[in-house]
């Protein structure tokens, strides 16, 4: 078993947990706002899509952490099969949410973007903390 050239250590895991926590906060706020402003199917879809996306984000973070932990060997074929199965599971869950749970496609699609929003906000906040002012961060 050949070791990887680098080991990310604990800092990336803390960052991923912060992003995940921010994602759940965003999802809660967006779902509450959608429940008051949008039809029920869209709010339901937003909540379901966001929960699926954040669950998928967590699984992906665990997968990547396992691949790069100290003493981990090179990825085998079954690592990639698990990665593909995770994605197919997400697609099946999205299809089930739309077909059987009658969630809005637009709401689910918006919910699936919650991890991207969390990553963007976390990155913007880190840039602002580092630079100390919004202008130098490009915001």
Question: Does 77 score more than 60 pLDDT?
Answer: yes
Residue 5 lies in a domain: no
Q: 107 exposed, middle or buried (CB, 10 Å; 0-12, 13-18, 19+)?
A: buried
What was the pLDDT predicted at 129? 81
- 119-131 residue pLDDT tens: 999 999 888 888 7
In a domain, 32, yes or no: yes
Residue 89 lies in a domain: yes
Host domain of residue 23: 10-137
CA distance 66 to 70: 9
Q: Is residue 2 part of a domain?
A: no
99 versus 12: the higher-pLDDT residue is: 99
Judge whether 127 lies within some domain. yes
Identify whether 1 is part of a domain: no
Least confident of 2-11, 71-80, 83-92: 2-11
Here the contacts of 11-15 (C-beta below 8 Å, separation 24 or greater) are 12/65, 13/61, 13/65, 15/122
Question: What's the total number of domains in the chain?
Answer: 1
Work out the percent of the chain whose per-residue pLDDT is above 70.
85
- Distance in angstroms (rounded) separating the CA atoms of residues 62 and 23: 16
């Amino acid at each position: 078993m050949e070791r990887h050239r680098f080991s990310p250590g604990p800092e990336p895991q803390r960052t991923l947990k912060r992003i995940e926590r921010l994602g759940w906060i965003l999802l809660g706020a967006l779902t509450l706002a959608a429940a008051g402003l949008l039809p029920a199917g869209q709010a339901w879809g937003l909540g379901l899509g966001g929960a699926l996306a954040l669950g998928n984000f967590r699984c992906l973070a665990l997968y990547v952490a396992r691949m790069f932990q100290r003493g981990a060997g090179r990825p085998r074929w079954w690592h990639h099969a698990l990665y593909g199965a995770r994605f197919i599971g997400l697609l099946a869950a999205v299809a089930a949410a739309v077909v059987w749970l009658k969630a809005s496609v637009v709401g689910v699609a918006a919910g699936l973007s919650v991890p991207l929003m969390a990553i963007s906000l976390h990155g913007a906040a880190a840039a602002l903390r580092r630079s100390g002012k919004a202008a130098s961060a490009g915001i």
